[in-house]
Amino acid sequence: MALQDIREIAVPITLDKPRTLRFDLNAFAELEEKFGSMDAAFQAMKKGSLKAARALLWAGLLHEDETLTEKRVGAMVGLQNIGGIMETIADAMNRAMPDSDPSETSESGKENPT
Beta strand spans in 15-98 (E): 18-22
Determine, yes or no, domain membership for 103. Answer: no
pTM score above 0.95: no
| CB 66 within 8 Å of CB 111 | no
> What's the confidence (pLDDT) of residue 9?
80
Task: Quote the CA–CA distance of 13 and 107 in Å, as a whole number.
Answer: 32
Determine, yes or no, domain membership for 111. Answer: no
| CB 40 within 8 Å of CB 28 | no
Task: Quote the CA–CA distance of 74 and 111 in Å, as a whole number.
Answer: 47
Per the structure, the complete domain to which residue 79 belongs is given by 13-98
Determine, yes or no, domain membership for 105. Answer: no
Tens digit of pLDDT at every position of the chain (114 positions): 455 566 778 899 999 999 999 988 899 899 999 999 988 988 998 898 899 999 999 999 999 999 999 999 999 998 888 888 888 988 888 777 766 554 444 444 444 444
- How many domains does the chain contain in total? 1
Determine, yes or no, domain membership for 8. Answer: no
